[in-house]
Structure 1
Amino acid sequence: MVLAWYLSESIEDPTAPNKTEPPVYVSLPTLLEQTGMECMTFPADTVDENPEFAQMRKDRDFSYEDTVEMTRETMPDYDKWVETFFTEHIHAHDEVRMILDGTGYFDVRDKNDKWIRVSAKKDDMVIVPSGLYHRFTLDQNVSC
């Protein structure tokens, strides 16, 4: 299950948790209300055979999929991609990410333009709604 918290104002290492002091955690209902971001959990190892996952995809008309494996060994221009993903951006469509392995952070802006960090790991699925400013980075485990 994802965890979420408000991000510190200063970030020296994007791969660190960078929580405020003291930490201010964000519940999933608050995350949804403040950002429109949804989080779900499906077993990654059997997601292709999961009827609930298939039904959710059908209900939401999610038909496109791609797989990204972010490691130095598997991704040409790894450093460029890490920098690109961590650059704040928006999409005209929902961004749906099912985490099949590893861990990383999605940073999203709330209604008051404050960053919320969402920690996602294997079995987590996040839906970043269209029009929401966001960015992504690996955490200190450095693979996803």
Structure 2
Amino acid sequence: MRAYYFDNLPGDQRLPHDSIPSRPVSDESLAAINVHHWRIPVDCGDCEEQLNAVAKERGYRNRDTLSISKEGLGDLYEEKIKGFYQEHIHEDEEIRYILEGSGFFDIREAPQDAWIRLAVTPGDLLVVPAGIYHRFTLDERNNDEPKWHAIYRSSETDQNPHRLEYLRSIQVA
């Protein structure tokens, strides 16, 4: 997991929004606001044991699996994605173990009220405390909308990287 201060610039929420230069946030700073994380690779031999150890340490009794995808959420996908990105709190800890895909948890740093962005990928286990303002979004790699718009033939399309790759793939270029 990579943690850094969100740049607060307008634009697509699915983009990294990392400042230039980047302003990383340390594990100690996250611990100070009760945000905890572990790295448990999804393909490790004792993943279940590691997850069980964290669950026991924190007193968790239940687990469920949620697929945040068009397949998993169906007609509710767009509504859910928008809802996840609305700043909110929970009355219980939010625990997320990322099995596949990637995205961003944005959390409010108290008392400064700055956004910290947590870039999560498979194997990241994240605990967001009850009462902390936060939001979530998938990143741009999780856009399963096909790009089926036509790009009409022209001198520019002859130089399009996809066109050039196609020509290389059939050994014409």
- TM score, norm. by length of structure 1: 0.90
Distance 1:41 1:47, change over 3 A: farther
Q: Give the C-alpha shift of residue 46 in structure 1.
A: 5.1
Q: Which has the higher contact order (CA 8 A, sep 6+)?
A: 1
Q: Give the C-alpha shift of residue 11 in structure 1.
A: 2.9
Aligned pair 1:140/2:140, yes or no?
yes
Gaps of 5+ in 1: none
Gaps of 5+ in 2: 144-173
Amino-acid identity (%): 33
Three-state SS of the structure 2 residue aligned to 1:5 is strand
Aligned residue among 49, 55, 58 for 2:56: 58
The aligned counterpart of 1:124 is: 124
Q: Give the C-alpha shift of residue 49 in structure 1.
A: 5.5
Q: Does the aligned pair in 2 maintain the 1:40–1:125 contact within 8 Å?
A: yes
Cα RMSD (Å) of the superposition? 1.7
- TM score, norm. by length of structure 2: 0.76
- Residues of 2 paired with 1:24 and 1:68: CA distance? 31
Q: Give the C-alpha shift of residue 43 in structure 1.
A: 2.3
Q: How does 1:1-144 map to 2 (within 5 A)?
A: 2-33=1-32, 35-45=33-43, 50-76=48-74, 77-111=76-110, 112-142=112-142
Q: Which amino acid aligns with 1:140?
A: E
Q: Does the aligned pair in 2 maintain the 1:45–1:100 contact within 8 Å?
A: no
Structure 1, residues 45-91: CA drift from partner, whole Å, max 9, x if none?
45885323212211211112221112223312110010010011001
Q: Does the aligned pair in 1 maintain the 2:66–2:72 contact within 8 Å?
A: no
- Residues of 1 paired with 2:85 and 2:28: CA distance? 25
Q: Which amino acid aligns with 1:50?
A: E
- Residues of 2 paired with 1:40 and 1:11: CA distance? 31
* Larger proportion of helix: 2
User: Comparing 59-68 with 84-93, which one deviates more in the overlay?
Assistant: 59-68
Q: Give the C-alpha shift of residue 21 in structure 1.
A: 2.6
* Larger proportion of strand: 1
CA radius of gyration, larger in: 2
